[in-house]
Structure 1
């Protein structure tokens, strides 16, 4: 998810703003280390019999993103659905690898999870709680009460509902892109027999490439959905971006 651009006065930063920025940078670095860099290095460099061996290397490598997810839960005290699903996905990848199942099952699993998100986004449009409000239109990003009041004042609530539907299609598209790229990446890279050092190296390479190959294109589409929704809100409420964003 992308953060909305919040206009701030940079000419007079207070000391209080600096630790927050440093913490965010540290959090991103720790995220990359635990979820991508360390697992990749373990799978590609330590899977030989002289080091951890193929199965133990998988267990150790996958322990890092799992530990990060547990740490995040204990730190915030809240169970994030998407983080939980990510941990489950890691368990499945590890289990399939240790059981030496055909790599095609990993490819199917890699495609299925974002595919399910995209399908759930579309299905949720038929419910009272469309997922677009979780992803984009929520009170952590926008002053939703203020937006709702302005929509009612201008009589543009129906037009906004259509905009939410269009944004949902864009979100579903981002998940579809992720699903296709996940599957293609797994099929192209995982070609060696499971239980071999070469397979672990391929698994590590897939982990390393998952961010630039999968996350970046999907994030660009998600950003497009966010930009579209912001423009529609401004158009239908006659409010400025500064008026509707949450200021922190």
Structure 2
């Protein structure tokens, strides 16, 4: 009976970018853009913003029996931002909060290296992106498992470094831009301005660093297994690529 229920339960597939969008990006945009009195207001913006990570986290828990770390982080982030506005705390608390969230993620990445599920594996080295089984088999054949694990650990340290960079930059930007009392229209406008400025100053450099980490990981895989990137792409990505090519009309 118990085995049947486990068999019927759908398999959980990591969806880190969907997690980030639903749990952090959308709620943050709601708080920053729709919390003015002419839109939702502070209270309803907080309630609706919290509904996204809460709903997504409950969906993952009920459907897959797994806790969603990013959804929990989203609830904390949205709750803190909304709470600062509702309680009309000083803008220095926003700077602390903006620095605290990426700092906590960076620390979580470091802590996860001591567990059997490092966050780098979830985000970059996972079956939805790479053919992990094929890579692992080649590593075993080349007796390079230990070296690869060390490289993966190095990637985790670099990955956590991107969040520490974001933490420091978030604090500097928040202190520089957001100076009005929380709960005011000026506070919301400055929050929106900070979001716009943070994209070129924080998001793009962090994205470049992430691409650099993935390149470091791929170069390691290439050197230790001899496979090209196309050869270690996830099988479902290969199928999608083949179907796309098959749909193209013949030149004859």
Answer whether TM exceeds 0.5 for this pair.
Answer: yes
Please name the residue that 1:89 is paired with: 77
Larger RCO: 1 or 2 (CA < 8 Å, sep 6+): 1
**1:192 maps onto 2:180 in alignment:** yes
Cα drift, residue 41 of structure 1: 3.8
Q: Could you report, residue by residue, the CA deviation over 1:89-128 in whole angstroms, capped at 9, with x for unpaired residues?
A: 1111111211111221221121112112212222333343
Please name the residue that 1:65 is paired with: 49
2:118 to 130, 135, 157: 130
Is 1:34–1:64's contact at 8 Å kept on the other side of the alignment?
no
**1:238 maps onto 2:226 in alignment:** yes
Please name the residue that 1:14 is paired with: none
Q: Could you report, residue by residue, the CA deviation over 1:162-203 in whole angstroms, capped at 9, with x for unpaired residues?
A: 211221122011111111121112111221122332222212
Instruction: List runs of 5+ in structure 2 lacking aligned partners.
Output: 1-19, 237-252
Out of 207-216 and 117-126, give the one that drifted further.
207-216
Q: TM-score, normalised by structure 1?
A: 0.73
Task: State how many pairs are aligned.
Answer: 214
Matches of 1:29 and 1:112 in 2, distance apart?
Answer: 19
1:119 to 89, 107, 113: 107
* Structure 1 residues 85 and 29: CA distance shift in structure 2, 3 A: closer
Please name the residue that 1:202 is paired with: 190
**Over the residues paired in the alignment, what is the CA RMSD in angstroms?**
3.0
Is 2:105–2:160's contact at 8 Å kept on the other side of the alignment?
yes
Matches of 1:58 and 1:109 in 2, distance apart?
Answer: 17
Cα drift, residue 75 of structure 1: 6.6
* Structure 1 residues 41 and 132: CA distance shift in structure 2, 3 A: closer
Please name the residue that 2:240 is paired with: none
Q: TM-score, normalised by structure 2?
A: 0.72
Instruction: List runs of 5+ in structure 1 lacking aligned partners.
Output: 1-27
Is 1:107–1:186's contact at 8 Å kept on the other side of the alignment?
yes
Tell me, what secondary structure is at the counterpart of 2:113? helix
Is 2:102–2:163's contact at 8 Å kept on the other side of the alignment?
yes
Is 1:58–1:200's contact at 8 Å kept on the other side of the alignment?
no
Matches of 1:218 and 1:96 in 2, distance apart?
Answer: 26
Please name the residue that 1:182 is paired with: 170
